[in-house]
């Protein structure tokens, strides 16, 4: 009897995985410490990604992409993060910035912007968080006021990946403060727009090659055709749909990072000798490796399920996206920590890659919704499900 569960990716996605692995091993792995130590944006690597058609793999065929869907994005995030989570963040920030257009844009907006992003000719970024409104989105202070055929935006966005490097920004602002979260709208802002600028580059613990800055809007005027979807007060819905689709990709980044840390750790354990034998022969090390593998495979399966649900906007998509993001993120910190432990003192030095995996992993529990916020959303979904079952009973 054939199982309904499919654990093998379709052939085209397996081919994509092999392509990405080849590019990552040639371009990312040899250069990742240079970009990390110099806090330098990986322009040369992203150019290689463009030449290899990896940006196209993030988008649908209608807009110049390859049409691999959600699973294509997950494969990309997983494999690039195996090499460097910072490079992955710099790369996939374009898809994150494009998602509001994808889920909420008019046909004209999609036709104008998405082909440019799919080709890699332009890159994008996503602007939701603020200095005083991270997890608390309704506390957003950025405003957009309609004046004639234009909107005037004022405010600051915080922790924006690829800010200053990206060409196009999807930015959320209050158009009706009295409606709370239902009064948020989303706007498309081009980099060279008057009144639009960037704060200092943050000096971060990890993902150091992915630039993080503020977006600053000071009487920033944009044409009304850049109001996403052509309707005000739809931004909360656009953000909600975006995060359902983006969180499995973050989880995939965590899976890739864990796999990279695990691969380094098990190779080292097989080579490193103590007390006349390799440390891989010690049961304590074997149990650590087993626990790491369990977390990786559990995270991978949950991520793939969340990806399938997200792509179809299944009724449980939000819950499983949050589960995948939370579990994989938390697991990545533990797996990276265990990898450092297996390396011992060497793991604490920059001579080996595991200290970087460890530093990079922490951001996964923070960006695109903290692990605590994910648990809130998971619990809310569980309680809603239970209430629904009670009513039906």
Taking the alpha carbons at both ends of the chain, their separation in whole angstroms is 33
**Quick one: which of 143, 106, 146 has its CA closest to 230?**
106
131: enclosing H helix or E strand: none
CA 213/CA 285 separation, integer angstroms: 41
CB 133 within 8 A of CB 287: no
DSSP code of residue 10: P
CB 329 within 8 A of CB 360: no
CA 225/CA 188 separation, integer angstroms: 9
CB 303 within 8 A of CB 250: no
269: enclosing H helix or E strand: helix 235-271
Query: Tokens 């959303």 correspond to what residue?
Result: 377
**From residue 5, how far is each of 192, 259, 308, 325, 389 by CA, in Å?**
48, 23, 12, 21, 26
CA 69/CA 77 separation, integer angstroms: 13
CB 248 within 8 A of CB 70: yes
The answer for residues whose C-beta is within 8 angstroms of residue 213's C-beta and 6 or more apart is 160, 163, 164, 198, 199, 200, 201, 202
| Rg of the chain over all Cα atoms, to the nearest angstrom | 21
| Active-site residue, selected from the candidate residues 78, 130, 368, 377 | 368
Q: Provide the greatest CA pair distance for the chain.
A: 80
CA 213/CA 390 separation, integer angstroms: 47
CA 190/CA 15 separation, integer angstroms: 35
Q: Has 368 been annotated as catalytic? A: yes
Residues with catalytic function: 368
């Amino acid at each position: 009897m054939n199982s309904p569960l499919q654990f093998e990716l379709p052939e085209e996605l397996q081919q994509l995985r092999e392509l990405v692995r080849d590019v990552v091993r040639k371009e990312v792995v040899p250069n990742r410490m240079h970009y990390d130590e110099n806090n330098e944006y990986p322009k040369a690597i992203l150019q290689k990604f463009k030449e290899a058609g990896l940006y196209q793999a993030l988008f649908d065929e209608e807009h110049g992409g390859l049409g691999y869907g959600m699973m294509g994005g997950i494969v990309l995030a997983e494999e690039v993060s195996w090499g460097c989570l910072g490079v992955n963040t710099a790369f996939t920030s374009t898809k994150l910035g494009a998602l509001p257009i994808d889920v909420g844009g008019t046909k004209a907006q999609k036709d104008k912007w998405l082909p440019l992003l799919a080709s890699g000719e332009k890159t994008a970024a996503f602007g939701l968080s603020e200095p005083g409104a991270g997890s608390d989105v309704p506390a957003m202070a950025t405003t957009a006021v309609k004046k004639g055929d234009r909107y005037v935006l004022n405010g600051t966005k915080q922790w924006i990946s690829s800010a200053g490097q990206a060409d196009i920004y999807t930015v959320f602002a209050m158009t009706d403060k009295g409606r709370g979260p239902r009064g948020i709208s989303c706007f498309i802002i081009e980099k060279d727009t008057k009144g639009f600028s960037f704060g200092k580059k943050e000096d971060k613990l990890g993902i150091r090659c992915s630039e993080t800055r503020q977006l600053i809007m000071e009487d920033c005027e944009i044409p009304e055709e850049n109001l996403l979807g052509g309707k005000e007060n739809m931004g909360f819905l656009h953000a909600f749909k975006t995060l359902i689709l983006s969180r499995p990709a973050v989880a995939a980044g965590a899976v890739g990072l864990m796999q990279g840390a695990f691969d380094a750790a098990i190779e080292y354990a097989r080579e490193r000798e103590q007390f006349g034998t390799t440390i891989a022969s010690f049961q304590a090390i074997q149990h650590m490796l087993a626990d790491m593998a369990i977390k990786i495979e559990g995270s991978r399966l949950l991520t793939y399920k969340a990806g399938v649900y997200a792509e179809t906007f299944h009724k449980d998509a939000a819950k499983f996206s949050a589960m995948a993001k939370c579990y994989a993120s938390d697991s990545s910190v533990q797996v990276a920590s265990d990898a450092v432990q297996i390396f011992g003192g060497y793991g604490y030095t920059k001579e080996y890659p595991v200290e970087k995996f460890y530093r990079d992993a922490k951001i996964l529990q923070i960006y695109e919704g903290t692990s605590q916020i994910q648990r809130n959303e998971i619990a809310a979904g569980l309680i809603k499900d239970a209430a629904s079952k009670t009513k039906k009973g």
